[in-house]
Structure 1
Amino acid sequence: RAAVIGAVGTIAKAYVSLLNTTTVHNADALHRLVSSRPPGTPLLTVSNHMSTIDDPFMWGFKGFPITDSKLARWVLTAEDICFRNVFMSYMFRLGKCVPITRGAGIYQDHMNEALEVLSTGGWLHSFPEGKVAQDHQPIRRLKWGTASLIVRAPVTPIVLPIVHTGFEKVMPEKSFFGRRPPLPLCGKEIKIIVGEPVDFDLPGLKQVAAMIPQDTSFERKGWPTITPEGLDEAAQRWLYQKMSDKIQSAMESLRKTLLNLKQH
């Protein structure tokens, strides 16, 4: 694992710190939470998804310990892209990637792996928009998986939003005969902004959710009830949407701040 993370981290650092021009705003907040948060406290970073190289490249900026396998993040990755065969599965597992099956829902078995990372006080990264988009539009509606992890984690994680731009130019989806280039491009400008932790009143939100009346207007997916609050599927849907909206709002605020910084 140390060899794989060290090698991949070195490549990411070369592209981000040397071959492209990168500016990071509020990097100290990320540094601090990655290296010195309270023992046993999990960290959940969330970001927009501009390209297939966002992770690991977004951690390749100067001064960040991307090659340290003990500090490195775990990341939720698409099973159909990163785990297509035995070799890829082995390598991505060494790279601290957790497979997620698209369309399998928030209670799929792989989510238990993500919960295990959080339960041990680890750092997990998520792309809650669920897919790559290079159109520079406002942050899209978030999938509920990230919110469900926050609620179900034994210890509530610190949730840190990050927004970036420029990786869509380093690895454009359609530039090389209508496809991605064989290698990341150079000479581009990358900007990353790290926000402040999103503040949730989780006990209060759970209390409100528990009082949500039964709703039979949606197709039930058979979600288990969350104890001890007794949150049924209707309550969970309300709770996950409320939390996702707050994360989306924090990310959109960062996106607008980053746009203003680019214009100066």
Structure 2
Amino acid sequence: MPNILSVVTATAVGLTCKTFINLGLCTMSVHGLPNLMKALESDERGKGRGIVTVSNHVSVLDDPMTWGVMPARTYLSTHLTRWSLGASDIMFTNPSSVFSAFFRTGQVLETFRGKGVYQPAVDSAIEKLSSGSWIHLFGEGKVCQPDTYEVEKGVARLIRFKWGVGRILIETPRPPIVIPVWITGFEDLMPEGRKWPYKYFPRLGTKLSVTFGDPIPPEHVLSALKRETPLPANTSGKWIPPGLVRSDEGAEGEENRRIRVKVTAIIQRAVEALGRQVSGDLLGKKTSV
């Protein structure tokens, strides 16, 4: 039953967003979608290799509007639908409410701000990723209107990503496929700070874009795990660094923290690099007009 409800929820929300786009109520540019589709359809997923997408977060409609660009057939399979982490104080304020049930069936893991990287939502994300699922992360952990992106200068600076990103990656048995994502225009679709009732309605005619970058080479993350060479074939894709402990106590815990921070920084740099590329492309289009 949960899977059926998840399919129904994903289909209803996905088709609603797709209809919003197809009716021309906003314009959507999509780039690099084959990068994600190739990962989703990879045979490696059946062997426990999951997928992680990580993006900037500029409005409350980033998710689900971003997934309105997906082929409609993906809504019919929970295997092709993302899992995401959602703030408890926003999405799950009343555990018995319709809204909480909606987010749960929409494959959102209840996450508690301030409770650190060792909490059930992060454990669940690792477990799902280890079985080949797709996890989407907003690395900033909150909506950040892009005033500091400096698009006109081709710059993309995000606030520090949450270290749970690093923990999720380093504790999976096999190296996941990590794809950076950059979105633009969503802050104009649903800007922060508008008064009631306008804050509940998206602005029409907004220009949006979603860009899926190339997967981050596993070697980039391996470098943070103190491995100087690629993993040999006879390790069966082992990924977790030797001596990893699931706590921050003692010398081993300190080393674990160091690795987690370093891995998170690698992912953030990849997302920001994609943002600079997208910003540069947008700037080029403006100057050529």
1:229 aligns with 2:243: yes
- Larger helix share, 1 or 2: 2
Asked whether the equivalents of residues 129 and 143 of structure 1 are also in contact (C-alpha less than 8 Å), the reply is yes
Query: Of residues 5, 17, 23 in structure 2, which corresponds to 1:12?
Result: 17
Deviates more, 1:159-168 or 1:15-24: 15-24
> Structure 2 counterpart of 1:240, which letter?
R
CA displacement at 1:140 relative to structure 2: 1.8
Q: Calculate the aligned-residue CA RMSD, in Å.
A: 2.2
Q: 1:150 to 1:230 in 2, by over 3 A?
A: closer
Residue-pair matches, total = 247
User: Residues of 2 paired with 1:55 and 1:236: CA distance?
Assistant: 31
Unmatched 5+ stretches in structure 1:
209-225
Matching of residue 118 in structure 1 with residue 155 in structure 2: no
Who is 1:99 aligned against?
A: 110
* In structure 1, distance between residues paired with 2:68 and 2:31: 14
Q: Tell me which of 203, 206, 225 is aligned to 2:225.
A: 206
- 1:143 is the counterpart of 2:146: no
Look up the match of 1:156. Answer: 175
The letter for the 2-side match of 1:76 is L
1:49 Cα offset (Å) = 0.4
Which one of the candidate residues 149, 170, 181 is aligned to 2:199?
181
Whichever residue aligns with residue 192 of structure 1, its letter is V
Letter in 2 for 1:3: V
Residues 79-112 of structure 1: per-residue CA shift (max 9 Å, x gap): 1111111222221111011111000000112211
In 2, are the aligned partners of 1:118 and 1:155 still within 8 Å (CA)? no
Name the SS of the counterpart of 1:89 in structure 2. Answer: helix
Q: Residues 48 and 64 (structure 1 numbering): CA distance in 2 closer, same or farther, change over 3 Å?
A: farther
Q: What's the TM-score, normalizing by structure 1?
A: 0.86
Give distance in 1, aligned partners of 2:65 and 2:52. Answer: 18
Moved over 4 A (4+): none
Find out whether 1:56 has 2:70 as its counterpart.
Answer: no
Match of 2:52 in 1: 44
Residue matched to 1:84: 93
Contact 2:85/2:121 (<8 A) preserved: no
